[in-house]
């Protein structure tokens, strides 16, 4: 049929990225666990994992655009895994790596589903206050387009984050979920903040993206955290308990599937899946209405919250002494400058 792309299976997690977790690093098969069905599959074809038919549309335009970004980023990640070193801060490769990380988060179905759920929650809350007011419901296609439109702002807001590699030296491998970019905020969590934790512009933001069973790419707000030796690009993770915590982040960020290599056991996967049930999913929508002369509603998604405690990741003195005011969102200074310049989405 004319005008229909041949790329029917469109991946929301790039195949080149999934291959880093393939069995024996051969790029053909991968282990997976389906949470809903409690089904462990130790060996499955990688080709159609984390994909949906024509997810980005039948014309192939978005799929081709995503492919271009993946082709630019794949060699950078391969170099990181081969050398154990990161690109220079503020270099072209650093900017591409930031953009890829943000894109991997916003292109995921969870991101578009969150937009739809936010729209539904907004309608519900408005109906409680003004029964005659209704906002048109967002379609899936519209939500995907809207989510992807956040790339430019999300990447700009994330450029001030510093980054390191977490190197797994334990016998347990890192795994990934079907939503591998984890947005976390130990700073806000330590202060029991309710909303404003997951935003790309928020103080204390942390991003965890596993690159392989041995390596996690870790972005962080340097104002909020002291991360190991300032002169080193890596932190070694030697404890299986610490690896479990980092894998638990994937579990609470997960929609329905884990992916892993041949070193992962069924017992371990089921254990971490069961343990993750004690925590809320990070993408759940929450809202609150402030009762004033005019109703004011704050709407946002929850962040992962597992009381993460990893050696060499500690709060700075400045962040410990930070005094909160009544703002709903506390923004990093460089992001405030961008907002003033017209980048208005947090």
| pLDDT, position 280 | 78
Q: Give residues with Cβ within 8 angstroms of 26, minimum separation 6.
A: none
Where do the DSSP E strands lie in the chain? Answer: 9-11, 29-34, 39-45, 51-53, 162-168, 176-177, 182-184, 206-212, 215-220, 225-227, 234-237, 257-260, 285-290, 296-301, 313-315
Over residues 201-213, the mean pLDDT reads 97
Over residues 4-18, the mean pLDDT reads 95
Least confident of 61-70, 192-201, 323-332: 192-201
Segments making up each domain of the chain, as ranges: 9-340
pLDDT, mean over the chain: 89
Which band of pLDDT confidence, cut at 50, 70 and 90, is reported for residue 9?
A: very high
The CA distance from 15 to 4, in Å, is 21
Question: pTM of the full predicted structure?
Answer: 0.91
**With the C-alpha atoms ordered 177, 80, 222, 161, is the resulting torsion angle positive or negative?**
negative
Over residues 91-108, the mean pLDDT reads 97
| In the chain, % of residues over pLDDT 70 | 90
Radius of gyration of the chain (CA): 20
């Amino acid at each position: 049929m004319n005008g229909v792309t041949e790329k029917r299976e469109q991946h929301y997690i790039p195949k080149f990225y999934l291959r880093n977790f393939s069995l024996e690093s051969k790029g053909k098969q991968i282990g997976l666990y389906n949470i809903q069905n409690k089904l462990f599959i130790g060996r499955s074809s990688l080709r159609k994992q984390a994909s949906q038919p024509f997810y980005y549309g039948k014309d192939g335009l978005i799929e081709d655009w995503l492919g271009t970004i993946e082709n630019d980023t794949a060699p950078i990640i391969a170099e990181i895994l081969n050398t154990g070193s990161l690109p220079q801060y503020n270099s072209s490769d650093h900017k591409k790596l930031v953009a890829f990380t943000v894109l991997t988060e916003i292109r995921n179905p969870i991101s578009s589903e969150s937009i739809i759920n936010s729209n539904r929650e907004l309608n519900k809350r408005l109906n409680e206050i003004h029964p005659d007011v209704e906002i048109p419901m967002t379609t899936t296609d519209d939500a995907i387009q809207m989510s992807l439109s956040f790339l430019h702002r999300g990447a700009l807001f994330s450029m001030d984050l510093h980054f390191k590699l977490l190197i797994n030296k334990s016998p347990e491998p890192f795994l990934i979920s079907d939503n591998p970019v984890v947005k976390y905020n130990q700073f806000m969590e330590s202060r029991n903040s309710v909303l404003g934790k997951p935003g790309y512009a928020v103080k204390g933001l942390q991003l965890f993206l596993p690159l392989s069973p041995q390596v996690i790419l870790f972005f962080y707000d340097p104002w909020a955290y002291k991360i190991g030796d300032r002169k080193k690009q890596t932190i070694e993770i030697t404890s299986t308990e610490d690896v479990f915590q980092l894998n638990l982040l994937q579990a609470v960020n997960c929609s329905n599937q884990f992916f892993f290599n041949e070193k992962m056991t069924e017992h371990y996967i089921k254990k971490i899946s069961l343990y993750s049930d004690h925590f809320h999913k990070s993408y759940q929508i929450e809202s609150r209405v402030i009762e004033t002369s005019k109703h004011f509603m704050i709407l946002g998604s929850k962040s992962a919250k597992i009381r993460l405690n990893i050696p060499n990741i500690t709060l700075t003195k400045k962040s410990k002494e930070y005094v909160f005011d009544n703002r709903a969102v506390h923004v990093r200074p460089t992001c405030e400058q961008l907002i003033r310049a017209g980048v208005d989405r947090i």
